[in-house]
Structure 1
Amino acid sequence: MDHLKELNEKLALYESQKKELEQWVEELTDFFENTSIPLHWVDNNGKIIWANQSELDSLGYTKEEYIGSSISTFHEDSGVINDILSRLKNNEILKNYPSRLICKDGRIKDVIINSNVYRKDGKFMHTRCFTRDVTEFRKEEQRKADLLKELEQSEARLRMVMDSIKLGTWDFNPVTGELIWSEECKKIYDLPPGVEIDFDLFADHIHPEDKDYALKEIEKAMDPAGEGSYNITYRILRYGDHSERWIKAQGKVYFNSEKQVERFIGTVVDIHDSKIAEEKSAKLAAIIESSDDAIISKTLEGIITSWNGSAERMFGYTAEEIIGQPVLKLIPEERQQEEPLILSRLKKGERVEHFETQRITKHKKLLDISLTISPVKDSQGKIIGVSKIARDITDKKREEMRKNDFIAMVSHELKTPLTSIKSYVQVLLAKAKKENDSFIIEGLTRTDIQVKKMVSMIGDFLSLAKLEEGTIKLNKTLFNLKLLIDEIIIDAQFLTSIHTIEIKDCDVDVYADKDKIGQVLINLLSNAIKYSPSGGTITIGCEKNDGKVKVHVSDEGVGINLKDHTRLFDRFYRVENEQVKTVSGFGVGLYLVSEILRYHDSEIEVESQEGQGSTFSFNLPIA
């Protein structure tokens, strides 16, 4: 009986323990099924044989879709699952193995896997895999990596910008007195290596006239009640040569919780060149604005871009009315062809000076103006615009017209009695020759020469008046050039006894205005005689070439300085030379020569040096 009782007690104990074990198994199973940690088992062939609800929920699959499928189906990287199974079969324990799983909706989850193998009697039964979703962690890591990369790129760009604009930086600790300058900052101050930098050194190199201002601005920035920053421009004296430089300095102060300055950082940039340029620009702007001349600039397309006060007074348009308008608005219709001609000269790099023309005002009044026009170029030398200086010469033109009218009137009034005098002299000279009175013949001959000079001078003044009025006309005919030159030499020979006048190769017929070309040759020959006071040979020569004849008049006189060549053919211009200061004249002869030849579509050229004589030449068409 005792044995049976003992057996029943053991059986009851077993039943109690069995129930406890079943309870533990049930609770443990429920724990794994419903834990928040995703779990799954995979057999030896890589097939999923179990997964808890958290695993299914994390990927979005049902049990039917997930369990029984190959685990490789759900791995984004096919080689990963093979590596995992291979390691597990080799009895490795995986810890925090990174992988990527495919969710049902197509999203990819970053996970880390911890896994080992359950074996029975040494046989691979299944894996025990714990997966942890680290997608947000990976995203945060990537975001930090991207930010770090962007920061590195920004720093690189900032360094490039600082290098390109030569921006210096500094860092000052007021507590310790430590002042750190960047290499560019040291270059700006021309600070040699090894020099100790402190606030006193900085202050000592502020320009004396700017020192109080700069230090007060720094002091204001360090006041907790202020803005805690400054942005100022002042001059420094560089360390090496104490040369003056303009700089722009900016600073930012950082305060601690007790409103004490703990750090002061900032930048400095050398703006000396731009400051000087700015001052020059301001002076130029003031000159332009105060100038009595109209100063206008325009684009290559002819659009007005600037307009000073004198331009407003001269033309009547305000800057607001005219800027942005075509410059043709100021040009009379009959003169609008001038613009492309001027522009073509400027594109060749030429400067147009004292170009006399007419322009029209807002109130349709015609003005006589003198233009000086220059190209505006960029830093590469490319022409990007045009600058014009316009001077109102209306009153001057009227005065010149009155003067020309007076000269013409006086010349006409003188011409009539001179013609009579010349006739009487010739009659008296003929009578004296018959009577063979040598004294009277000599006197009348000299009188005749002076009368001819007077007639020639009056002819020049009349021609000048016609040129000024624009009424000169050409009467072109066919004539022999040598015969004309012979006549001129005969008369000219009476003017000198110390010159030999030669003619070479001029037997050629030309088509031109005989009287006007005669006037050209008379002026050139007369000048050759006047400006070679020591005598010598004067040569009038001709060279035929390509349907033209080049006529030149050469002398062995005092010559002409190169600086006078460009103005030699200006009206009333006379060369200053001590050797010929007593030579009479008004400076109109060569101007007339130049203008007469211009009407013949030719031009006068000069080759001369002081002390080596002169050669004047021009071309005429051969008939």
Structure 2
Amino acid sequence: MIIKSQKFSKKTALIYFGLCISLAVASFLLSYFGVVSIAYKEMPALAVLCALTLAAVTPVCLYLSTKFTWGTLLSFISVHVGLALFFTLYIGPYSPFTSLWAVLLVLTYTNYGRVGFFVSAFIFTAMSVQSVFPYKEQLDAEGSASFATFIVLAFILSAATVIVAMIFCLVLSNAKKTNKLLVEARRAESVQLNRLDTLLNSLSDTVLTLNRYGRITSQNSSALSFFDTNQSLVGKSIDTILDLQDASMQPISAKQLMESVKATLFRDDVSVRRGESEIVRLSIQMSKIQGTYQDNEDQEFGVVLIIRDITRQKTLEDEKDEFISVTSHELRTPIAIAEGSLSNLVFMQEKGGKPELLKKAAETAHDQVLYLARMINDLSTLSRAERGVGDVAEEVDVKQLVQDLFTRYEAEAQEKSLQLNLDVDASLPTVMTSRLYLEEILQNFITNAIKYTVSGSVTLEAHMKSGRIECSVSDTGIGINKVDQKKIFEKFFRSEDYRTRETSGTGLGLYVVRKLADKLDTTVEVESKLNHGSKFSFILPLSSDKLGTGKRASNI
């Protein structure tokens, strides 16, 4: 198989050029001093051809070899011709200088493979044998050795030169194959390392490798963000940059944890302090780095340390536990009251109790059932919001929605002798938002306003403000003191004001409103003065980035 030839570099061409000029000069000097073979004497014209080949033709071919790949082939042909003529005319087949042809054989193999090698070997053998023929008459006349003996000797010397060159070519070929395998292995290793780096750097978790002394040997990009630095962490001791604390806020040495690792260690009860008050809760995983079967079993390679910020997860778990605890308590109270009232009702009915007492017990139980229904409705609304049931935005006509709510609650306001007012701009644009969430927020404001207003009015408004729609519900009710204004959006919070306690409520309404407002990408504002009424308002964007995917929002 012929290897595809390549152009010569200028350096290679200069080396060949120097060799050819040297041979041309040598041929001139040898001719001048008469150090020539019988072939030269019989065919002196070949000397001119040899000189032209070495001094003119070959340099031209070498120049072309630096420009074109076919110039390389011409150069090799020219060198072969020139060298063959030089050996035939000047040094003969038995000169030690014929070993130079072995170098030419190797170079030919390097460029043209086995085919080039055997062609060059054939030329060399033919040249060696042919060089004996001019001496046939001299050998026969002297009778010192037979002509056939010199022919055989020429074959032997040629074969020896070719074999030496072949061995060298095999060694060179094996070296090239080995080098190629090494290059491919290094390339594959580089690809794998790049993939591993990409994988590690794509992780949001902090990943570090530590040596047996607890010093960092590598890191991923998230580590820089976690430790809030732009400088490399490599070479630093883990205990100097990671001040771990356990659940009781006692310091823990990461290096000591590393030394206790047998295979894998996992803990999610540790934390670090940032600043004076911020506590970041973490989970850490340490896995011992295993060596290969060829490594010493007693040799230690350190560990891989994975750090994950679980502050939000732990906070949600704590909130969940607190929510379940408080909800259980809030549900237990009305259930106990309803159960007691119904038990009294049954007892009084059996004993022939007074009708007014029976009615009071039934009304008490009914009120508690209604309270439970409202709480379950609020919890259901909160659950729907957390599951993203209403997250898909739709085109909503705010003016029509507000008018519908006004019509729906007008009769309820009149029952309490309250004036329900409607103040809406004549022209309001439609918005892309969640109708379910928007209606739930406005309903909550309206029902609270009617509930906590003894006399006066409740006003429902919708106006354009700075390119967005401001919705508000104001009343002339009991108002909210400044201390309670900071707490009204907390779950299960109810003011200690006796007027608030006189009305039933779950303490979940405004908590649900705050969560739904976050979904709508807005914030509820409160303006209130005790005994002078309240105003709840929010500015509705014409479209929300938090809606449209149907996915659960991150802040719920």
TM-score (norm 1): 0.32
Task: Give the structure with the higher percent strand.
Answer: 1
TM-score (norm 2): 0.36
With CA pairs under 8 Å and 6+ residues apart, which has the higher RCO, 1 or 2?
2
The structure whose Rg is larger is 1
